[in-house]
């Protein structure tokens, strides 16, 4: 019975260690070869995840060899071996599936999207009073909160190993293992702009970019100007030779290689009327002598003047298609002053007029 009582005493000693009481070493010897007990206690290494985290464990080994007088069998009453683990003193977290101090609402997000970090499952013998958050894993705390739940949005894409450090009322701290988050680039938004919404044929339009990028900057531009031409600059000037409606599209690329969807604006190009003009060979302005006229009219689109009409001022008219070389002749029957009028019409129905005064000698 005496040996059993001593074993119980040693078990109680071990439990005292597990509950945080000072470790003891106990040795009891009876006679030479009587009962003996030994207690050994040890402190474990720092807890996982960071400096300052500490844990403890106690190991108790008891052996009893009890002799109560002389027995006919001379056998030992028994031996006991006991291992106890002391509760860690620094805060630790236990989640459903892994040893970690926090969870995130999503481990794959785009820049600018808020992620919820939740360390509610953290525990400590003393009250947890502070949560320090290292969102990018650089070893520097980015934010400290009294709440176990916080939100954070990443400004730039990349892979981040986020950590949390918790501190309790006794000053003990513990770091979590990192949780990896993959943050993806958000593409830019193309914003084309035209200096004017409409222009005549031959007029110049200046296109500029009001594009934006939510997590960086725009570094490349590709314009489709709608008439088969392109431009690769932030700002472009372009002239249109034919009337019509043109869809001008812009695609931009950001500094992370993200490409926008095309964004288009509509430009109206109106027909430009031709310009009527002619020259007169005054040296031949004599009665009865054919007088030469040279049609120098122009149109934005060469060859689009489709109708020419002359009023020679003496009651004579001539109309028809453009004549090759633009040379026309007319003979006046009487001397005097005459007003010559030229009408030109293009393929879009726009008309232009030119007039000159001449004198015909007798």
The answer to whether the beta carbons of residues 38 and 26 sit under 8 Å apart is yes
pLDDT in tens, 136-177: 999 999 999 999 999 999 999 999 999 999 888 888 888 888
Q: Per residue, what are the HEC states of 182-195?
A: EEECCCCECCEEEC
Residue 16, pLDDT > 50, answer: no
Q: What is the pLDDT of residues 200-251, one digit of tens each?
A: 988 999 999 999 999 999 999 999 999 999 999 999 999 998 889 999 999 9
* Per-residue model confidence as pLDDT tens digits over 329-359: 999 999 999 999 999 999 888 999 999 999 9
- State pLDDT tens for residues 306-316: 999 999 999 99
Nearest to 361 by CA among 335, 337, 338: 335
DSSP letters, 240-297, are --S-EEEEEEEEEEETTS-BPPPEEEEEEEEPPPPB--EEE-GGG-BTTSPEEEEE--
Q: Residues 140, 142, 148, 152: is their CA dihedral positive or negative?
A: negative
> How big is the CA angle at 42 (ends 40 and 45), to the nearest 5 degrees?
165
336 in Cβ contact with 360 (< 8 Å): yes
Query: Which value, in Å, is the radius of gyration of the alpha carbons in the chain?
Result: 49
pLDDT at 101 over 80: no
Report the CATH fold assignment for 92-184. Answer: Immunoglobulin-like (2.60.40)
Q: Which of 119, 255, 118, 105 is nearest to 181 (CA)?
A: 105
pTM as predicted = 0.60
Question: What are the residue ranges of helices labelled H in 51-122?
Answer: none
In which residue ranges of the chain is CATH 2.60.40.10 found? 92-184, 192-270, 278-360
Residue 225 pLDDT: 97
pLDDT tier for residue 317 given thresholds of 50, 70 and 90: very high
Question: What DSSP state is assigned to residue 22?
Answer: P
CA distance 353 to 345: 9
Whole-angstrom Cα distance, residue 137 to residue 332? 98
* Percentage of the chain modeled with pLDDT above 90: 58
Residue whose entry in the numeric block shows the structure tokens 């009893």: 64
User: 278-360 domain in CATH 3.90.550.10?
Assistant: no
Smallest Cα–Cα separation from 192: which of 148, 155, 238, 161? 238
**How many CB atoms neighbour CB 186 within 10 A?**
18
Query: Would you state the torsion angle of the CA atoms of residues 41, 45, 51, 55, taken in this order, to the nearest 10 degrees?
Result: -50
Q: Which residues pair with 109 in a beta bridge?
A: 183
Residue 350: phi and psi, rounded to 5, are -80, 140
Class of domain 192-270: mainly beta
46, 50, 52, 58: CA torsion to nearest 10:
-20
pLDDT the model gives residue 79: 25
Structure-block tokens of residue 204: 């110049």
């Amino acid at each position: 019975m005496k040996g059993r009582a001593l074993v119980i005493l040693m078990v109680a000693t071990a439990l005292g260690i597990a509950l945080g009481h000072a470790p003891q070493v106990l040795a009891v010897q009876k006679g030479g070869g009587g009962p003996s007990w030994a207690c050994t206690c040890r402190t474990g290494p720092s807890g996982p995840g960071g400096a300052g985290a500490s844990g403890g464990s106690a190991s108790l080994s008891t052996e009893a060899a009890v002799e109560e007088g002389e027995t006919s069998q001379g056998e030992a009453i028994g031996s006991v071996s006991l291992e106890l683990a002391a509760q860690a003193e620094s805060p630790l977290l236990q989640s459903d599936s892994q040893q970690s101090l926090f969870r995130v609402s999503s481990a794959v997000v785009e820049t600018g999207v808020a992620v919820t970090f939740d360390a509610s499952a953290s525990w400590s013998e003393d009250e947890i009073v502070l949560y320090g958050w290292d969102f990018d894993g650089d070893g520097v705390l980015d934010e400290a909160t009294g709440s176990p739940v916080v939100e954070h949005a990443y400004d730039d894409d990349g892979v981040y190993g986020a950590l949390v450090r918790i501190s309790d009322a006794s000053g003990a701290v513990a770091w979590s293992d990192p949780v990896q988050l993959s943050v993806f680039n958000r593409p830019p938004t193309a914003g084309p702009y035209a200096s004017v919404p409409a222009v005549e044929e031959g007029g110049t339009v200046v296109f500029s970019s009001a594009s934006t990028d939510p997590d960086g900057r725009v570094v490349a531009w590709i314009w489709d100007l709608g008439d088969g031409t392109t431009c690769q600059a932030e700002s472009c000037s372009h002239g249109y030779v034919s009337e019509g409606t043109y869809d001008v599209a812009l695609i931009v690329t950001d500094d992370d290689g993200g490409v926008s969807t095309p964004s288009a604006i509509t430009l109206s190009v109106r027909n430009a009327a031709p310009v009527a003009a002619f020259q007169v060979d005054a040296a031949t302005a004599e009665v009865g002598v054919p007088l030469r006229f040279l049609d120098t009219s122009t149109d934005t689109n060469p060859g689009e003047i489709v109708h020419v009409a002359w009023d020679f001022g003496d009651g004579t008219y001539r109309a028809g298609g453009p004549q090759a070389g633009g040379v026309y002749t007319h003979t006046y029957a009487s001397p005097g002053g005459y007003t010559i009028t030229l009408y030109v019409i293009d393929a879009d129905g726009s008309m232009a007029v030119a007039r000159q005064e001449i004198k015909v000698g007798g």
